[in-house]
């Protein structure tokens, strides 16, 4: 498995459903760009959040994000942008001077009013930092931006201006004044008085502004060229080496910490994750350490890092005798770790005290930029286990998910959900939490008119009376906690169908009786059909034609104690059947680590209820799984159902995109 390192702790890229453009942060707030020797460079698309973005938002543009129509029209600005990506603030409604001028909407002459970008930058040397920005301007109405510091918008951060260099990427650091509309040089700067981590911010002056990169420098005479300085960042990451080293019982390890560094030509890179070579100082390096384990025959795995600047060459020697050489393949991205970047030598005989030497020589793909011969250690695994070790999957915390946020396009009408959860299968715990969160994230919470749970009216013998009672309480908690945390459900009472059967039937029958041709009721069958049957029985027959029941699995349809599925259909309701949602939404629990590890407590809370189902001791088939399959029917309804071509087979990525899109907008 190839793991891509982008020099950044990438979080989740989520694309706008209509335009295919990302307005989501590409990095988390743990990513810190670091000033060295009085300068720091940051790619514009690496903001960790946006604020005041209700009217205008910044969107990432790259080859992947630009439509074929744009490409055919030669709108390929990204190809010459640093990192092949940039951002633009949209919508762009004032393209020419004759277009409508709307202050506070397509123009803001005051910093911090509209469309704010946030970047974390560690300043080691306090002082005055001149700000340079690389922008692409096509006219007179897309050539201005503001810069701020820690929520403050100083006078010398206002009104950055571009006049020259139209229709190409151009570096500028000038301030527009009443006397000089094209800007005064050396007047855009930030006075940073203390060392430490600061929030560098940019805000919109004119919509349609295209922003590629910025540089802060203490050198007032500095002028960037081409793509400017390289980006330097501090970032936390999981250790690939530690994970692969623990993959097989009996592995013996020599991590880089066991190799001497002084006078070897190596240095510790990325906070100590790898050893590497500084190409400005050395082209080769060598280090040796003793083999401290028992005599035996081992498979030797050398764990290296693929780089895109060039192919470095590693030579492994044992007691001075060459074992072999290895060149990691040239990577497509800045860094790659994984199977193809590991070297394997099988059946190597070793004795305690043998001298293990790693020699490295850096490589260059173009003769200008040099790789750094990065590596993380050696693993000695029992003979015959080497291939298993190098194929170890790696759960990185660097993740790129380019999923389009599902379009919210529900049919007309209201929605009612009838779930079980008190039956042996605990999947409704995760399903309930996700369903409620999805409705809130899509802005459709007010259309939820009924939610009942524990609809299995006669206890199954596979679950004890005590365990079933526990489930009732857990399901009520899933409803109450999720609705309170996510807000918007204050007028709704979440009902226990078994313990409050009469009230539940009455409430659902009331929703049925309120149905019309233009305001139908969509009932989600997320459990046994009995409550639905009793409510239909208690409601007006003429209203049943306006009721639609969404189902995805016969296990629910055929589980009724009082009503068979055909009896439900005989009431005259419309059956809306979609594929089994377990296929895509009952997944290995690791697929939900993004929620477990998310900084927002609402996302963590949703994960917690799915985890409670996974550790349930009533059934065994949920072990290792995170199951929100019934929530797939909610996703189907939110995205259009059978009226507007809803998602019939939603995925965890769809759920993730929708929830994180909401979290980002409501942080």
Residue 192 pLDDT greater than 60, yes or no: yes
Q: Partners of 171 in the beta sheet? A: 134
Listing DSSP states for 403-460 in one string gives EEPPP--PPSSEEEEEE--SSS--THHHHHHHHHHHHHHTT-GGGEEEEEE----S--
- 380-398 residues labelled b (16+ CB within 10 A) or e (exposed): bbbeebbeebbebebebbb
Q: Which residues contact 343 (CB under 8 A, 6 or more apart)?
A: 301, 302, 304, 314, 316, 324, 326
The pLDDT confidence band at residue 404, using thresholds 50, 70 and 90, is low
Residue 657 pLDDT greater than 50, yes or no: yes
Residue 401 pLDDT greater than 80, yes or no: no
The pLDDT confidence band at residue 63, using thresholds 50, 70 and 90, is low
Instruction: Note the pTM of the prediction, 2 decimals.
Output: 0.46
Average pLDDT over residues 80-100: 83
535 vs 512: CA distance, rounded Å: 8
566 vs 35: CA distance, rounded Å: 69
Give the pLDDT confidence score for residue 30 in this predicted structure.
66
Residue 67 pLDDT greater than 50, yes or no: no
Residue 65 pLDDT greater than 70, yes or no: no
Cβ(512)–Cβ(463) below 8 Å = no
The pLDDT confidence band at residue 646, using thresholds 50, 70 and 90, is very high
Average pLDDT over residues 408-433: 92
Residue 354 pLDDT greater than 80, yes or no: yes
The pLDDT confidence band at residue 405, using thresholds 50, 70 and 90, is low
Q: Is 162 helix (H, G, I), strand (E, B) or coil?
A: coil
pLDDT, mean over the chain: 87
Listing DSSP states for 592-638 in one string gives GHHHHT-SSHHHHHHHHHHHHHHT-SS-STTTTEEE-TTHHHHHHHH
Block residue for tokens 């720091």: 40
Average pLDDT over residues 535-540: 97
Q: List, for residues 476-506, the tens digit of each pLDDT value.
A: 999 999 999 999 999 999 999 999 999 999 9
Domains of the chain, start order = 32-234 (2.60.120.1620), 240-390 (2.60.120.260), 405-665 (3.90.245)
Give the pLDDT confidence score for residue 391 in this predicted structure.
86
Give the pLDDT confidence score for residue 366 in this predicted structure.
77
Cβ(1)–Cβ(336) below 8 Å = no
Ranked by mean pLDDT, which of 182-196, 242-256, 454-468, 527-541 comes out on top?
A: 527-541
Average pLDDT over residues 221-232: 82
Ranked by mean pLDDT, which of 67-76, 272-281, 315-324, 589-598 comes out on top?
A: 315-324
The pLDDT confidence band at residue 191, using thresholds 50, 70 and 90, is very high
Give the pLDDT confidence score for residue 403 in this predicted structure.
38
Average pLDDT over residues 218-224: 91
Higher-confidence residue of 406 and 326: namely 326
The pLDDT confidence band at residue 333, using thresholds 50, 70 and 90, is low
Average pLDDT over residues 455-459: 92
Residue 364 pLDDT greater than 90, yes or no: no
How many Å from the N-terminal Cα to the C-terminal Cα in the chain?
Answer: 34
CA distances from 324 to 260, 305, 442, 626 (A): 21, 17, 57, 44
Residue 305 pLDDT greater than 80, yes or no: yes
Average pLDDT over residues 525-533: 95
Cβ(657)–Cβ(404) below 8 Å = yes
Give the pLDDT confidence score for residue 234 in this predicted structure.
53
The pLDDT confidence band at residue 101, using thresholds 50, 70 and 90, is confident
Q: How many CA atoms lie within 13 A of 518 on its CB side?
A: 0
Residue 56 pLDDT greater than 50, yes or no: yes
- Maximal CA-CA distance, the chain: 90
pLDDT > 70 in the chain, percent: 90
Ranked by mean pLDDT, which of 311-325, 359-373, 556-570 comes out on top?
A: 311-325
Q: List, for residues 571-584, the tens digit of each pLDDT value.
A: 999 999 999 898 89
Q: What are phi and psi of 221, to 5 degrees?
A: -100, 0
Average pLDDT over residues 422-428: 86
Residue 204 pLDDT greater than 90, yes or no: yes
The pLDDT confidence band at residue 72, using thresholds 50, 70 and 90, is very low
The pLDDT confidence band at residue 471, using thresholds 50, 70 and 90, is very high
Give the pLDDT confidence score for residue 417 in this predicted structure.
98
Cβ(80)–Cβ(170) below 8 Å = no
Residue 439, Cβ neighbours under 10 Å: how many? 27
Give the pLDDT confidence score for residue 621 in this predicted structure.
79
Give the pLDDT confidence score for residue 238 in this predicted structure.
58
Average pLDDT over residues 404-423: 89
Give the pLDDT confidence score for residue 599 in this predicted structure.
84
Average pLDDT over residues 401-418: 80
661 vs 663: CA distance, rounded Å: 6
Give the pLDDT confidence score for residue 370 in this predicted structure.
82
């Amino acid at each position: 498995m190839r793991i891509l390192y982008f020099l950044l702790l990438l979080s989740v890229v989520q694309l706008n459903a209509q335009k295919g453009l990302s307005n989501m942060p590409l990095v988390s707030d743990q990513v810190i760009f670091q000033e060295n020797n009085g300068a720091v460079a940051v790619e514009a698309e690496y903001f960790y959040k946006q604020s005041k973005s209700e009217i205008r938002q910044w969107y990432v543009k790259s080859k992947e994000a630009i439509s074929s129509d744009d490409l055919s029209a030669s709108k390929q600005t990204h190809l010459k942008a640093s990192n092949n990506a940039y951002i633009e603030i949209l919508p762009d409604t004032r393209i020419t001077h004759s277009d409508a001028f709307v202050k506070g909407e397509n123009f803001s002459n005051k910093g911090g009013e509209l469309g704010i970008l946030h970047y974390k930058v560690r300043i080691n040397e306090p002082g005055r930092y001149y700000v340079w920005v690389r922008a692409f301007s096509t006219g007179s109405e897309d050539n201005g931006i503001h810069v701020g510091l820690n929520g403050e918008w100083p006078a010398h951060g206002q009104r950055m201006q571009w006049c020259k260099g139209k229709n190409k990427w151009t570096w500028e650091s000038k301030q527009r004044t009443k006397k000089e509309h094209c800007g005064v040089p050396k007047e855009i700067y930030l006075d940073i008085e203390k060392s430490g981590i600061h929030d560098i911010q940019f805000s919109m002056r004119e919509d349609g502004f295209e922003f590629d990169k910025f540089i802060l420098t203490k050198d007032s005479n500095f002028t960037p060229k081409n793509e400017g300085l390289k980006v330097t960042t501090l970032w936390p990451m999981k250790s690939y080496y530690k994970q692969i080293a623990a993959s097989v019982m009996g592995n013996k390890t020599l991590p880089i910490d066991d190799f001497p560094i002084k006078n070897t030509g190596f240095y510790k890179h990325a906070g100590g994750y790898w050893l590497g070579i500084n190409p400005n100082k050395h082209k080769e390096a060598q280090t040796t350490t003793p083999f401290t384990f028992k005599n035996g025959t081992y498979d030797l795995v050398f764990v290296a890092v693929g780089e895109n600047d060039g192919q470095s060459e590693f030579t492994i020697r044992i007691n001075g005798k060459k074992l072999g050489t290895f060149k990691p393949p040239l990577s497509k991205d800045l860094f790659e770790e994984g199977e193809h970047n590991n070297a394997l030598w099988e059946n190597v005989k070793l004795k305690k005290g043998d001298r293990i030497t790693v020699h490295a020589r850096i490589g260059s793909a173009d003769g200008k930029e040099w790789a750094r011969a990065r590596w993380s250690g050696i693993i000695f695994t029992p003979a015959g286990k080497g291939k298993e070790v190098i194929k170890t999957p790696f759960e990185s915390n660097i993740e790129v998910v380019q999923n389009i946020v599902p379009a919210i396009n529900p049919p007309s009408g209201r929605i009612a959900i009838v779930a079980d959860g008190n039956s042996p299968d605990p999947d409704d715990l995760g399903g309930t939490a996700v369903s409620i969160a999805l409705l809130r994230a899509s802005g459709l919470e007010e259309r939820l008119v009924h939610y009942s749970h524990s609809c299995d009216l006669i206890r199954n013998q596979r679950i004890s009376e005590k365990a079933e009672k526990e489930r009732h309480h857990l399901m009520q908690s899933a409803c109450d906690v999720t609705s309170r945390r996510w807000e918007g459900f204050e007028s709704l009472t979440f009902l226990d169908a078994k313990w409050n059967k009469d009230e539940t039937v009455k409430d659902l029958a009331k929703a049925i009786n309120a149905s019309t041709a233009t305001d139908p009721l969509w009932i989600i069958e997320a459990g046994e059909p009995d409550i639905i049957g009793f409510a239909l029985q208690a409601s007006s027959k003429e209203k049943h034609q306006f009721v639609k029941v969404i189902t995805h699995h016969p296990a629910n349809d055929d589980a009724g104690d009082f009503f068979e599925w055909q009896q439900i259909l005989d009431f005259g309701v419309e059956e809306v059947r979609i594929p089994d949602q377990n296929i895509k939404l009952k997944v290995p629990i690791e697929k939900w680590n993004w929620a477990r590890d998310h900084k927002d407590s609402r996302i963590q809370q949703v994960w917690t209820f799915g985890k409670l189902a996974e550790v349930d001791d009533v059934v065994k088939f949920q072990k290792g799984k995170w199951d929100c399959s019934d929530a797939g029917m909610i996703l189907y309804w939110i995205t259009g159902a059978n009226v507007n071509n809803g998602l019939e087979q939603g995925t965890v990525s769809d759920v993730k995109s929708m929830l994180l899109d909401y979290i980002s907008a409501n942080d």
